[in-house]
Structure 1
Amino acid sequence: MQVAKGRHNLKGLFNILLPTLFLLQTLSHASGLNSDGFALLSFKWSIYSDPHLSLSDWNDRDQTPCNWSGILCLKLGAYEDPRVVSLQLPQMGLAGSIPKQLGQLTYLRTIDLQNNQLIGTLHREIFDGLSLRNILLSENQLSGIIPPEVGNLKDLEYLNLGNNRLVGSIPDPITNCTSLVSLVLKENTLTGSIPHGIGSNLSLLQQLDLSSNRLNGSIPADLGDLSNLQGTMNLSDNCLSGPIPASLGKLPLNVSLDLQQNALYGPIPQTGALSNQGPTAFLGNPGLCGFPLKVDCPSLPSEPQDLPPSGIAATEPPGTKQSKSFNTKQIVAIAVGDVFGIAIICLTFIYCYRRHALRKAKKNARTCLEKASYKYDGSSLREGSERESGTTEHGDLVHFSKDFKFELDDLLQASAYVLGKSGPGVVYRAVLEGGTTVAVRSLGIEGDQHHKEVDNEILLMGRVRHPNVVRLRAYFWSVQEKLLVYDFKAGGNLATALRGCRNAKGPMQWATRLNIAKGAAQGLAYLHDCGSRKYAHGGLKPSKILLDENMEACIADFNVVKLRSLCSVSSAGCHGLLVPGSRAYSNITEITMDTIHLFRSSPYQPPEAAEDPIPTQKWDVYAFGVILLELLTGKSLPVKLASSELDLVAWVHTSSQGSTSFSKVLDPSLLLERMHVQHEMLEVLQIALSCVAISPEQRPRMKQVAESLENIGCSSSKY
């Protein structure tokens, strides 16, 4: 037995010494390797399975690791030798652990080891690299706690530790990471409460996903201060309790909340963004009540009166004067009870009245639809403009596709979720009966205008058919509301995807960016030369480029700027199309003065927009050029410098003089790919700079831009 025990001890000693012997052997052969290389070799020897041989070229006899797979180096400051700034090996099937020696990479900015089979804990020494900006370690099997030293990383922008086996609480010092843009800790086993200060300190945060953990306590009220949040704030599948803070209503209106499967209770506040949520946001919380759930909140009980028990005479101390009247406390209690009673009766009356009015309105609309609704069958909408005025009063639903129809009642009763807000209008995602999802844009205009010019304008929009243009399926017109019904695109928009917020998998790869640019250019070129009609979008920006589930780009909301101008001139109605020689064209200043400040302040509008507010196709070319620069640089608009803000176009012009300065404008997350596709990026940069020429005459046509982009990287595959 003692012999077996001795063998066991020897085996354990051998397991400890073997990695050390390997390391000593490595160091003996790597006398020329710099300190960054030593730190990276410790990672290689911590990996026991490398099915794709991604570390096979990590040669211990090299003088520098800069040519190793997954490694990017840059010359920094006064150092003559390049330093490691990026370690990116996602989806390589690596099995092993992350050694603490990686913390010795002083200038490391990015660790991307997502979707591997890494185990072990996160050593606090890893967070000693104060240059870290991106820590992407999701979809591994990491365990242990999140070290509080993460709070030392002042420049950290992306932290994704989702889909691991982490335990413990979310460290409070994480609120010191004031540069955070995305915080994803979903699908772990984290406990404790959500730290206070996330909302008040992390003002740049655009994505917050803490779902599928075991977090408890109440929702911090300061989460409502996250004014830059996008997409969904996901706190679902936890053990959160208490009421929903009314302060969450201060979140942007296009933010979706997911509070499902918790222990929240009380009435759902009807303020701001909270009032825009659908019922699915609150499911699995039995204690919640109120709209949009079909659970009525209990009435508030009256305050009990301070009366003596029945059958017992009230006595007074000696020397006091007895009286049959109520004392002051009793009178106050009775008054408060009466006020509550009257308030409940009034609220009940208002609720019943509104329900009755809503049922009546829907019934009238349904009757009107059945009797006089006009649906597009290939004939001119001129006929529709001559129908009885009674139809216009209740509203008309006009379809543009025979194979895609729905009833007015389906649209009125659909579950709607706010996607975004643009000017006076709002965009909703509506789920019709049967599960069909559409996007509904409200023009935000009221009035009884319904003229043939508007009908014909929308009809032309409904005839547009192109895979890179969002298709208009129908429109609804009534005195109170004007709605455009489009196909729904499940991939969100370019503004969100470009900043890595779509699926928390970090910055977008170059092949994906190039493919999106090509698709958007094809769609815009088609609109600019759409048969006999030549459209000008007039409001192009990244949020108007929608993405489907395959990241294919589609132009959205074309002609909406013009349509809104047509229908908001004055109470006199619409005055015709915005074409030279028309009466509307002569009144263009009156039409657009309310919105001209948007054009002048928008970085996607060209210099001439300040003097001539009429949108042209050259406007679109300029806007597309700015979008190409965003795809290349990854910069938000405007570019924030140390002491000022600078227009993106001006910043690129000043920073990209000469080919040697190309890396200054390129998105840092693309530097690893630059060595393979630098020629593609340079070609796109040249196209972008031609699009943003100051003189409109010097800008190319969109057809030329689309053809030039199509010839770039034809052999590249999508990421």
Structure 2
Amino acid sequence: MSKHLLINCTDLKGVDLQTGKFTLRQIKDATNNFDISNKIGEGGFGPVYKGLLSDGTAIAVKQLSAKSKQGNREFLNEIGMISALQHPHLVKLYGCCIEGNQLLLVYEYMENNSVASALFGAKENQLKLDWPTRHRIFVGIAKGLAYLHEESLLKIVHRDIKASNVLLDKNLYPKISDFGLAKLNEDDRTHISTRIAGTYGYMAPEYAMWGYLTDKADVYSFGILILEMVSGRCNITYRSKEEYCFHLLDWAQILKEKGSLLDLIDPRLGWEFNKEEVIITIKVALLCCNASAALRPAMSSVVSMLEGRTPVRELVLDPNAPSDEINEMMRKHFESVYEETICESTHQRKTMSIEGASTSSTSVHDLYPNNPDFGRTGRDQRP
């Protein structure tokens, strides 16, 4: 048995799990003994299989690989975090199996992949998401984040909110996944100083550049995600390092100044949408993407604004943190990262770790990597 697996099985036995436990026999029966025909992907931590429990419940089974020490650490972090969290808009962990040399996690199976696949994936994997469906997804994600930040006994900063980490069930209801990078936000501390981990293009400036982490980093990421879903476009367009830019956010800000926010709308929607609701939604997104963390709203306020229960407040810019200056600083910062990563071989996954370890977290890359998220121009970078 692998040394890493021995270490982590011991660690996991000390975790207070609030989920069920499965026997290896149950999981083998569900997956037809891990039959290759049931394999739905290969994540950085190992393979993922679709299975069917004896009661007819469809499941996704993550099978731990012992290759990555950090990957195992994120795997443990995820099971510890998500086992204590129960919310309709968080992906459900049914349980785990620790038996012999096997370490397995059992999740609910999400029939419609992810928001990234639905909007930006290969054409055959894209879904027709009308405006009411998109708006329902925004509100659901916002409610899930409000729970993590404000309602759960564990106050959690997710750190990696993005289109590929929002999975969709058979009814196209959203569920936040990927808790391998989540951090506890302790009540007696205003922020956490930590290693940078997340996805470029979604990371808040104060976190991307200085590792200054609060729940407002998730708020920023959520704002970017809204803009992507409204427009049907990726936030960052890559052509070459000289042209690295915050295309979508810049565009939205320019359109707001011109009073032309409806020009942001995804052409696939035609004119079948509530214009007032679209404008409110984009304004909320821009509030969330304020360069100043202190001026971003709490997620409970975001829910209230999106549902029309409270008016959208005016966007106020911090004169001490001009967005143009911060955008330029971030562009230079990401250019340096681009130089470091451009030599990576093309067969490697687009989501990579700054520490050089592959991720083990539950995202569509892992549960459904055979259905590519990115038929889009953005480049995922996982520090």
TM-aligned CA deviation for residue 523 of structure 1: 1.1
Q: When the two structures are superposed, what TM-score results if normalisation uses the length of structure 1?
A: 0.35
Equivalences for residues 156-171 of structure 1 within 5 A: none
Instruction: From 255, 260, 263, give the equivalent of 1:664.
Output: 263
What residue in structure 2 maps to residue 619 of structure 1?
217
> Is the Cα contact below 8 Å between 1:445 and 1:482 reproduced in 2?
no
Contact 1:625 1:689 in 2 (8 A): yes
Quote the residue 1:689 is aligned against: 286
Kindly state the Cα deviation for residue 428 of structure 1 after the two structures are TM-superposed. Answer: 1.8
Measured on the aligned residues, the alpha-carbon RMSD in Å equals 4.1
Shift of the 533–669 alpha-carbon distance from structure 1 to 2, 3 Å rule, reads same
Choose from 639, 650, 653 the match for 2:253.
653
Q: Distance in 1 between matches of 2:151 and 2:224?
A: 23
**In the alignment, is residue 606 of structure 1 matched against residue 204 of structure 2?**
yes
The CA deviation at 1:615 is 4.2
Question: Is residue 2:8 matched to residue 1:411?
Answer: no
Deviation at 1:664, TM superposition (A): 2.9
Q: In structure 2, what is the equivalent of residue 244 of structure 1?
A: none
The equivalent of 1:542 in structure 2 is: 163
Hey, what's the Cα distance between the residues in 2 that align with 1:509 and 1:444? 39
CA deviations 1:564-614 (Å, max 9, x no partner) are xxxxxxxxxxxxx785999xx78x4xxx4xxx4x64x61010111233336
- Name the SS of the counterpart of 2:91 in structure 1: coil
Q: Which residue of 1 aligns with 2:317?
A: none
SS of structure 2 residue aligned to 1:430: strand
Q: For the residues of structure 1 that align with 2:160 and 2:12, how far apart are their CA atoms? A: 31
Question: Offset of 1:518 from its aligned partner?
Answer: 1.1
Contact 1:426 1:443 (8 Å CA) reproduced: yes
- Distance in 1, Cα, partners of 2:211 & 2:104: 25
Residue segments in structure 2 that go unaligned for 5+ positions in a row = 310-383
Rounded Cα–Cα distance in structure 1 between residues aligned with 2:178 and 2:153? 20
- Give the CA deviation at 1:693: 0.3
- The answer on 1:673 being equivalent to 2:256 is no
CA contact (8 A) 2:236 2:244 kept: yes
Among candidates 298, 302, 310, match of residue 701 of structure 1 = 298
**Do the aligned residues in 2 keep the contact of 1:393 with 1:478 (CA within 8 Å)?**
no
Q: Report which structure shows greater RCO (CA 8 Å, sep ≥6).
A: 2
The 3 A distance-change label for structure 1 pair 580 and 678 is closer
- Look up the match of 1:65: none
Alignment deviations for residues 429-462 of structure 1 (CA, whole Å, 9 cap, x no partner)? 331453543223467666899xxxx989845531
**What is the TM-score when the length of structure 2 is the normalising length?**
0.63
Residues 662/514 of structure 1: CA separation in 2 closer, same or farther (3 Å cut): same
2:140 is aligned to 519
Q: Secondary structure at the match of 2:181?
A: helix
* Partner in structure 2 of residue 634 of structure 1: 232
**Which residue identity lines up with residue 654 of structure 1 in the other structure?**
I
SS of structure 2 residue aligned to 1:414: coil
Contact 1:429 1:437 in 2 (8 A): no
Deviation at 1:486, TM superposition (A): 1.8
Structure of higher CA gyration radius: 1
Q: 1:428 is matched with which residue?
A: 48
Contact conserved, 1:492 with 1:502, CA < 8 A, in 2?
Answer: no
Instruction: Please show how residues 367-406 of structure 1 align to structure 2 within 5 Å.
Output: 392=10, 400-401=18-19, 406=22
SS of corresponding position for 2:111: coil
Equivalent runs, 1:36-115 vs 2, <5 Å = none
In structure 2, do the counterparts of structure 1 residues 444 and 542 end up closer, same or farther at CA, with 3 Å as the change threshold?
A: farther
Whether the aligned pair in 2 keeps the contact of 1:397 and 1:408 (CA below 8 Å) is no
Task: Identify if the C-alpha distance between structure 1 residues 479 and 540 changes in structure 2 by more than 3 Å, giving closer, same or farther.
Answer: farther
> 1:112-261 to 2 correspondence within 5 Å?
none
Are residues 457 and 650 of structure 1, via their aligned partners in 2, closer, same or farther at CA, if it must alter by over 3 Å? closer
The question of whether the paired residues in 1 share the 8 Å contact of 2:288 and 2:296 is answered with yes
- Number of residue equivalences: 290
| SS at 2:157 equivalent | coil
Q: Is the 8 A contact 2:155 2:186 kept in 1?
A: no
Native 8 Å contact 1:639 1:651 kept in 2: no
- What secondary structure is seen at the aligned counterpart in 1 of 2:39? strand
Deviation at 1:476, TM superposition (A): 4.3
Give me the whole-angstrom Cα distance separating, in 2, the residues matched to 1:666 and 1:635.
10
What is the distance in 2 between the residues matched to 1:505 and 1:446?
33
Q: Any conservation in 1 of the 2:47–2:63 contact (CA below 8 Å)?
A: yes
Distance 1:410-1:673 versus aligned 2 partners, 3 A rule: same
SS state at 1:611 partner: helix
**CA spacing shift, 1:544–1:426, aligned 2, 3 Å:** farther
The residue that corresponds to 2:152 in the other structure is 531
User: What is the one-letter code of the residue matched to 1:662?
Assistant: L
Change (3 A) 1:429 1:530: farther
Report SS of the residue matched to 1:485. Answer: strand
User: Displacement of 1:406 after TM fit?
Assistant: 3.0
Query: In the alignment, is the contact (CA less than 8 A) between 1:546 and 1:554 conserved in 2?
Result: yes
What is the letter of the counterpart of residue 255 of structure 2? S
Separation in 2, partners of 1:631, 1:493: 12
Counterpart in 2 of 1:487? 108
Offset at residue 697 of structure 1 (A): 0.4
| Residues 227-278 of structure 1: CA deviation (Å, up to 9, x unaligned) | xxxxxxxxxxxxxxxxxxxxxxxxxxxxxxxxxxxxxxxxxxxxxxxxxxxx
How many angstroms apart in 1 are the aligned matches of 2:96 and 2:244?
41
